[in-house]
A and B are shown apart, each in its own frame.
Chain A
Amino acid sequence: MAKIRGAIVVDVERCKGCSLCVVACPSSVIALAKEVNGKGYNYAYMVNPDACTGCVNCAIVCPDTVISVYKVKADAVA
């Protein structure tokens, strides 16, 4: 297991499903959901949460700033 673990929280109703975060993620953590939000967009979600390192790349390229990133050292909490 990676020493640094991260997680993202997507504001689902604000996400427009542009998928720029999907290509920006170096660990292939993010994908677009099959379900849609209230506006009909396939929103982003963590398809592979174990691989997230909290590098913030997805949040930086998100045009609508819907992603919050959390990061923790795994051995500090485990």
Chain B
Amino acid sequence: MDVKDIIKEENLVYSKSKVLTDTIMHYCPGCTHGVVHKVIAEVIEELGIQDKTIGVSPVGCAVFAYNYLDIDWQEAAHGRAPALATAINRLYPDKYVFTYQGDGDLASIGTAEIIHACNRGENIVVIFINNGIYGMTGGQMAPTTLIDMPTSTTPYGRKVDLNGYPLKITDLVAQLPGTCFVTRHSAHTPAAVRKLKKAVTKAFQNTRRKKGVSFIEVVSTCNSGWKLSPVESNNWMVEHMFPYYPLGDMKDE
């Protein structure tokens, strides 16, 4: 059978979600942001909530997320996405509200906002991209940077006596009574992406149960910041990130 006989409209099993726009993403080749955008778009399409979903985009590499998903968006000040999402959710309780934040946004400048939004138990979804580095500004050390991991501001590696310990913010919010679903995923293999999609679906459904924040951390790569190829970055992540940031559900109520 020729390839031309296979490539027909009726045989199509996978194509770009309609929720994703045709804009070419500005992310570096192999960036995990693209995969997570795609997963969110597919979940929104499958749940049929495109006109009821409001996203809050962060400051960081994902600042242009509003160009890529064809839903309503609002752009928050640096780290303030959970506060803005609180306001949107209280004004429009029938909408599905989610924030999309990186580790520089959520775990550093926005620590107060995320801790208090989680403690208040707002009915929002938080997608947290953790790549252990400030990707957008040139690969500086982030709160989540691993010990001995080289960055542009810690060229000899992060040292505990000078820079402290990597922050496990997901473990912190799992302790708070306002969260109902706290989980850590990755998006480096097809199986991992499928699991992530199930978790995102569950998180969006949780907002209807009014039980509190659904928090999904995605352990990600930053191949430009890590100075590795996309495939090598994934291998580095499995070898170094996963022992410190183990995957799995921390809380599911």
Report A's interface with B, CB cutoff 8 A.
1, 5-7, 9, 14, 16-20, 22-24, 41, 46, 49, 54, 56-57, 59-65, 67-72, 74, 77-78
> Which B residues touch A70, using CB under 8 A?
6-8, 11-13
Q: Give bound CA distance, A16 to B231, whole Å.
A: 13
Question: Which of B6, B16, B32 meets A65, CB within 8 Å?
Answer: B16
B80 within 8 A of A: no
CB-nearest residue of chain A relative to B193? Answer: A60
Q: Give bound CA distance, A34 to B151, whole Å.
A: 33
Q: How many A-B residue pairs have CB under 8 A?
A: 99
Question: Which of A6, A68, A74 meets B16, CB within 8 Å?
Answer: A68
Per-residue CB proximity of B30-48 to A under 8 Å, as 1/0? 1111110010000000000
Report B's interface with A, CB cutoff 8 A.
1, 3, 5-8, 11-17, 20, 24-25, 27-35, 38, 187-190, 193-194, 229-231, 234
State the main secondary structure of chain A at its contact with B: mixed
> Which A residues touch B5, using CB under 8 A?
72, 77
- Distance in Å: Cβ of A75 to nearest Cβ of chain B: 10
Q: Is the CB of B190 within 8 A of A24?
A: yes
Question: Which of A61, A62, A64 meets B24, CB within 8 Å?
Answer: A64
